[in-house]
Amino acid sequence: MTKMQTQNKKFRFRQFPVYGDARIFVHNVKILTKKKFPYTEQFSLLAQISRALDSIILNIAEGSDRMTDKDFAHFLNMSHTSLNEVVACCDIALDSEYFTITEHKDCLSGAEVLANQLTAFRKSLLKSPIK
């Protein structure tokens, strides 16, 4: 077994497509917010959206090592609720005129794709015979 194969067994969350897609989404939104948010938002809206973005990825990772699929599904649900928080922050950014309509639509589009993945993965875990 290669070193990479051993790492993948230890950190199985890295194998899930939703984890990789979440990383890309988080990266893209963080770049956008750092460019577009004013300094005055550094410790409020920017900090809030950053925590919510990190929580999406971290809940996928943490949940993947739970003993049952039901527990893992719970963490995917928490990841989804963090994604909802990101969408709300993007709405605030649009209302505050930090985001353009196009930037807002791009953010929502990425969030929608990720939400669908999280939901599908969660449902597949709950249908799994190993609970």
Give residue-wise pLDDT tens across range 58-69: 999 999 999 899
Give residue-wise pLDDT tens across range 43-97: 899 999 999 999 999 999 999 999 899 999 999 999 999 999 999 999 999 999 9
Domain ranges in the chain?
Answer: 17-127
Query: Which tokens belong to 50?
Result: 């950053």
pTM, 2 dp:
0.89
Tokens 């950053």 map to which residue?
50
| CATH among 1.10.10.10, 1.20.1440.60, 3.30.300.30, 3.40.50.1100 for 17-127 | 1.20.1440.60
